[in-house]
Amino acid sequence: MLDIKWVRDNPEALDAALAKRSAPAQAASLIALDEKRRGLVQALQDMQSRRNAASKEIGAAMAQKNAELADRLKADVTELKTAMPALEDQTRAIDAELLDVLSRLPNIPLDDVPVGADEHANIVTRTIGTRPGWNHKALEHFEIGEALGYMDFERAAKLSGSRFTVLTGPLARMERALGQFMIDLHTSEHGYTEVSSPLMVRDDAMFGTGQLPKFAEDLFRTTDGRWLIPTAEVTLTNLVREEIVEAEKLPLRYTALTPSFRSEAGSAGRDTRGMLRQHQFWKCELVSITNAETAIDEHERMTACAEEVLKRLGLHYRVLTLCTGDMGFGARKTYDLEVWLPGQNTFREVSSCSVCGDFQGRRMNARYRSKDDKALKFVHTLNGSGTAVGRALIAVMENYLNEDGSVTVPDVLQPYMGGLTRIEAARG
């Protein structure tokens, strides 16, 4: 969430940033709303001061046995007490209105983020590895999985409807192996602390990371008012909600391997076959809590950690810098990792790493105490996939496909697969 003080001081910068995101100007209306709020606050403070002063004067008048003055002052206090609740209600209403407007504004892009309306303006930063060199026909993951007999969409649809998958046997084990490999890598070599956190959260947590109020339709809600997490970013980032972190403890680096739940609102007709776009999927999440001075370097570090997963799996991928029109709501800058899928003959996103500035820190009221002046400042947050497990599984299946339809198990996964080196078709 943006700081209204910053908006007042930088109206042109706000509108220019919103224009980069193809959003309408908001500075003038925000400042007008804030002026109205400040006027109400000042009027309420004036009333409180007058009431307090009159209360003291009543005592003085009574001491001087000036009943007429005391009665007049009492009448003034009664009138103020009657008028103040209505003014307090107006102040609360305007506060809520201002908060709602601010909470729906996207974050300010960094200066080096390319400007563009959609994914066509994204910039390829680097490309790593090469495409598979075999000559046999490439297949999509669902063709491979169904032919092997370990990927079942029909039964999943009977259980839960569309955008769900049932994996069995060695494919189910490979999905688990990928998640375990990722979490082990990030905790043992990259310095992240593993967290087991809830899969359901309250409104405040979703507000803190920016899913609410704007993106409620993308979420699943339980009958008791909780939300299923769309990513462990929500729980990991909110671990510092309403807390003050000592500066020497920063950066805090957290990781979690969890299911994620998304309604996929607005994606009708996209990736309807297979398991690229699911309502439920596993993801290894990375979150960093840091300060303004180190956040940009932390962004590069986090992206490198996610890249290492793909490198060790031997997958061909590229890194994109997203343009202003393709970035997420809370991001100031985002790198996407796209892995090569031979079956689709294209790159597809498998990880997205974003630096958010103090946007989420402000929404969570999460602060740290500065080493230099001991002042309280909002934390800066980062999040990324390290990586999406299901999409990594897709990439492994398509890139390690053999001519006979079997799938070779990457070396790095074999210890998690009980030494299995190849997934072959189910017998019978």
Question: How do residues 197-235 score in pLDDT, each as one tens digit?
Answer: 999 999 999 999 999 999 999 999 999 999 999 999 999
Whether the full predicted model's pTM is greater than 0.85, yes or no, is yes
**Residue 164 buriedness (CB in 10 A; 0-12 / 13-18 / 19+):** middle
Q: Give the pLDDT of residue 78.
A: 77
Those residues whose C-beta lies under 8 Å from the C-beta of residue 14, and which sit 6 or more positions away, are 2, 6, 7, 26, 27, 30, 108
Q: Give the pLDDT of residue 413.
A: 98
Q: Give the pLDDT of residue 20.
A: 96
Mean pLDDT to the nearest integer, 242-250: 95
Residues forming the active site: 262, 277, 349, 352, 391
Distances in whole angstroms, Cα of residue 208 to Cα of each of 11, 313, 361, 362, 390: 24, 34, 8, 8, 27
For residue 175, give the DSSP letter. Answer: H
Mean pLDDT to the nearest integer, 90-118: 95
For residue 279, give the DSSP letter. Answer: S
Q: Give the pLDDT of residue 82.
A: 81
Query: Quick check: 267 and 278 in contact, CB under 8 A?
Result: no
Q: What is the CA radius of gyration of the chain?
A: 28
Query: What is the distance between the alpha carbons of residues 103 and 330, in angstroms, rounded to a whole number?
Result: 10
Minimal CA–CA distance to 354: which of 316, 312, 321? 321
Q: Give the pLDDT of residue 404.
A: 96
Mean pLDDT to the nearest integer, 283-298: 97
* 51-65, 223-237, 410-424: least confident range: 51-65
Mean model confidence pLDDT for the chain: 94
**pLDDT above 80: residue 71:** no
Minimal CA–CA distance to 128: which of 260, 276, 335, 311? 311
* 132-136, 205-209, 211-215, 280-284: least confident range: 132-136
Mean pLDDT to the nearest integer, 41-53: 83
The partner residues of 317 in beta bridges, in order of sequence, read 128, 339
**pLDDT above 70: residue 276:** yes
pLDDT band at 55 (very low <50, low <70, confident <90, very high): confident
Q: Give the pLDDT of residue 271.
A: 73
**pLDDT above 90: residue 362:** yes
Mean pLDDT to the nearest integer, 96-101: 94
Q: Give the pLDDT of residue 428.
A: 65
Mean pLDDT to the nearest integer, 149-163: 96
**pLDDT above 80: residue 153:** yes
Mean pLDDT to the nearest integer, 277-293: 97
Residue 169 falls in which region: left (phi positive, over 0), alpha (psi -120 to 50) or beta: left
Query: What is the distance between the alpha carbons of residues 111 and 109, in angstroms, rounded to a whole number?
Result: 6
Query: What is the distance between the alpha carbons of residues 339 and 127, in angstroms, rounded to a whole number?
Result: 10
pLDDT band at 268 (very low <50, low <70, confident <90, very high): low
Mean pLDDT to the nearest integer, 62-74: 74
